Structure 1
């Protein structure tokens, strides 16, 4: 149980630096002498570093051990946050972003792979629920420091201290974290760190499903407030409460629907979630102001269990032999989806804010079709024995 709690704390902690930039940037850009739009240079650096890390995470964990990799990655994160806090200019800050991307990518992929092998549906959803908590609390932390006049640098140092302590815990418990080879079902099967050992179609379906799913989640998080206020005339205070409520219901959904998936299995819950996402898209598109307001909360609840359960079912959809490697690639696909699809939604909204709803509805339909395709392929594999 201690390792489970430590995994939860790790996911909570890696969410903290991811959510600081939005609140810190107005003060940060003044220190660096940059325009507001320069913030757009930050995500591509982090995503690129994350992709590199997730591609090699399973190989590194298999060679050095899960516990050692988590300890080293967490200490790297602490070092990166110190560099962020002490950066004299934007170039140094971008170096810290790259280091955080490397460390966060390894932690994300390694713990997700461990959870897919060791957790049930309830625990893996709770793992991702703690990520939501970290993402929600981080802006509050930065706001508190900025409003009290201490500036944007101190929050990075506080989070670095947490990462340093967490790395120490990982180091002390490194022997207790099972290696990928020890936990893979079917000890007689050779373990591979390359996803090519599974059917290409199954791997690709999973990668696309993860990218689309995180694209939906990030797209709603980024653009719902703008759509409600500028597109539908919702009061900004109400829209702000709904934007926060989106994260609250996502947390509640991961807690509640994770427990449900533990009882009925992941596939019925993912199927219901797919229907809920399409329903939310239609409600946002055709439900008027009140329908769109309700849709924001429905998006959060319906999206909540999907990504954790996609991670959990990786071995079933592909192969237990390559599950760890595929989980790593899916973590990379998640970063791509979270970066690309909100950008595309933003470009569509530049032409018309109202285009948010139909574009997002189209994404939810794609997500539902991908779910059906994966479920059909899993069913055929079961029939084939």
Structure 2
């Protein structure tokens, strides 16, 4: 039964990734149909992530009233309904209206599942689960790219919505599995989580900054790379979409490999190696030739792969198990704050300058992420000395 539950959680992570890159890939056609400026994508993306921030911050309270299985099912169903709404939307205003519940659905399930896995499963499962998120994030743009030249972007949203409805049904049927697993959680652990000290641990600000920068740069690349290659490199829309899929595919493959590496290396080592590789990839991405940029995009994906799941899984070790449920929600909130503000902020820069600044901005964010992580490592080391 435990194995079946783990399989269901894997499927749930696929549902988390499916919608993430749809807007970035479809936007070159969407903004033309709606007569919207190119930079509008950043504001829609910001609205989605804003809802996610809110639900992440409230996830601790939500989990006090509902089980993880109920939060996961409800959020997946809400996401499916919103994606169907994107397919139907007659104007840009509808996209903004639907973006709010779309974000609310993503945030609660993300925080709930990550806390559940961090508490009950080993590090390799966290990497492989986020690998399944990558399968969804890779499959989404592939589906969109396949229909862009024939039936337009709307059919891409319709297909992903149908898949989400199917995943919601699987989650609903899995409720008995979650009930059995939930019985293994001790009452003492539940009490420790709900009566924790409200004072934040030392160094948590650097952890939150790292989450903000990580999700910010991941979303920035996912949202703007397609438009960058279309406008700056004169790629076709289909080719640019394929490159975005390669980026998410490298994250996916990287997390699969990271699952095996986690048997040998600690979370701290995995984070450090991943950030170093991602920084190297951003240097290659800065070199303005197609070959080096593709290599850089792949290296960035492989480098980013272990960072997020390793940071999540290390939360109880960094700050204590009693603090982890609340801090998991805070970390999710800051992660989506990065997704919320960095892409539209770059959109503002683009509207005044050029998309050509994308590689340089990527390098700067990678440097900030490295600094925040190493500063946190030093603080934790001093506290444990």
Please give the range of the TM-score, normalised by the shorter of the 2 chains.
0.7 to 0.9
Give the 5 Å matches for 1:59-74: 59-74=61-76
For the pair 1:258 / 2:243, whether they are aligned, the reply is no
Q: Is the 8 A contact 1:228 1:234 kept in 2?
A: yes
Q: Is the 8 A contact 2:213 2:369 kept in 1?
A: yes
Q: Is the 8 A contact 1:317 1:374 kept in 2?
A: no
Q: Give the CA RMSD over aligned residues.
A: 3.4
Name 2:314's counterpart in structure 1. Answer: 313
Specify which of 10, 13, 17 is matched with residue 11 of structure 1.
13
The secondary structure found in structure 2 opposite 1:12 is: helix
Q: Is the 8 A contact 1:50 1:332 kept in 2?
A: yes
Name 2:170's counterpart in structure 1. Answer: 169
Between 284-293 and 6-15, the greater mean CA deviation after superposition: 284-293
CA distance in structure 2 between the partners assigned to 1:87 and 1:16 by the alignment: 19
Give the 5 Å matches for 1:100-115: 100-115=102-117
Specify whether residues 243 and 197 from structure 1 end up closer, same or farther in structure 2 by C-alpha distance, changes over 3 A only: same
CA distance in structure 1 between the partners assigned to 2:49 and 2:308 by the alignment: 18
Name 1:190's counterpart in structure 2. Answer: 192
Q: Is the 8 A contact 1:193 1:322 kept in 2?
A: no
Specify whether residues 318 and 80 from structure 1 end up closer, same or farther in structure 2 by C-alpha distance, changes over 3 A only: same
Specify whether residues 49 and 353 from structure 1 end up closer, same or farther in structure 2 by C-alpha distance, changes over 3 A only: closer
Quote how far apart the aligned CAs of 1:32 are: 5.1
The secondary structure found in structure 2 opposite 1:262 is: coil
Name 1:270's counterpart in structure 2. Answer: 271
Quote how far apart the aligned CAs of 1:260 are: 0.6
Name 2:204's counterpart in structure 1. Answer: 203
For the pair 1:47 / 2:18, whether they are aligned, the reply is no
Give the 5 Å matches for 1:272-291: 272-285=273-286, 291=292
Where in structure 1 are there 5+ consecutive unaligned residues? none
Quote how far apart the aligned CAs of 1:329 are: 1.9
CA distance in structure 2 between the partners assigned to 1:143 and 1:82 by the alignment: 18
CA distance in structure 2 between the partners assigned to 1:89 and 1:289 by the alignment: 36
Specify whether residues 286 and 153 from structure 1 end up closer, same or farther in structure 2 by C-alpha distance, changes over 3 A only: closer
1:190-225 CA-partner distances (Å, limit 9, x unpaired): 2138783431x4332211101111222233334556
CA distance in structure 2 between the partners assigned to 1:5 and 1:296 by the alignment: 30
Q: Is the 8 A contact 1:195 1:203 kept in 2?
A: no
Quote how far apart the aligned CAs of 1:50 are: 0.9
Between 276-285 and 24-33, the greater mean CA deviation after superposition: 24-33
Q: Is the 8 A contact 1:66 1:174 kept in 2?
A: no
CA distance in structure 2 between the partners assigned to 1:54 and 1:356 by the alignment: 28
CA distance in structure 2 between the partners assigned to 1:162 and 1:229 by the alignment: 29
Quote how far apart the aligned CAs of 1:227 are: 6.4
1:96-140 CA-partner distances (Å, limit 9, x unpaired): 221111111111111111121122222111111222221222223
CA distance in structure 2 between the partners assigned to 1:244 and 1:274 by the alignment: 21
CA distance in structure 2 between the partners assigned to 1:203 and 1:180 by the alignment: 29
Give the 5 Å matches for 1:148-167: 148-149=150-151, 151-167=152-168
TM-score, normalised to structure 1's length? 0.84
Q: Is the 8 A contact 1:195 1:326 kept in 2?
A: no
Name 2:324's counterpart in structure 1. Answer: 323
TM-score, normalised to structure 2's length? 0.84
The secondary structure found in structure 2 opposite 1:274 is: helix
Q: Is the 8 A contact 1:228 1:293 kept in 2?
A: no
Specify which of 1, 4, 15 is matched with residue 2 of structure 1.
4
Quote how far apart the aligned CAs of 1:258 are: 2.5
Q: Is the 8 A contact 2:53 2:107 kept in 1?
A: yes
CA distance in structure 2 between the partners assigned to 1:190 and 1:270 by the alignment: 28
Quote how far apart the aligned CAs of 1:64 are: 1.4
Specify whether residues 226 and 158 from structure 1 end up closer, same or farther in structure 2 by C-alpha distance, changes over 3 A only: closer
1:129-163 CA-partner distances (Å, limit 9, x unpaired): 222221222223234345443x5444434333333
CA distance in structure 1 between the partners assigned to 2:361 and 2:163 by the alignment: 39
Specify whether residues 223 and 194 from structure 1 end up closer, same or farther in structure 2 by C-alpha distance, changes over 3 A only: farther
Name 1:213's counterpart in structure 2. Answer: 214
The secondary structure found in structure 2 opposite 1:18 is: coil
1:264-295 CA-partner distances (Å, limit 9, x unpaired): 21111212222223333444457977655432
Specify whether residues 343 and 78 from structure 1 end up closer, same or farther in structure 2 by C-alpha distance, changes over 3 A only: closer
CA distance in structure 1 between the partners assigned to 2:161 and 2:197 by the alignment: 34
Q: Is the 8 A contact 1:120 1:262 kept in 2?
A: no
Q: Is the 8 A contact 1:113 1:323 kept in 2?
A: yes
Quote how far apart the aligned CAs of 1:182 are: 6.1
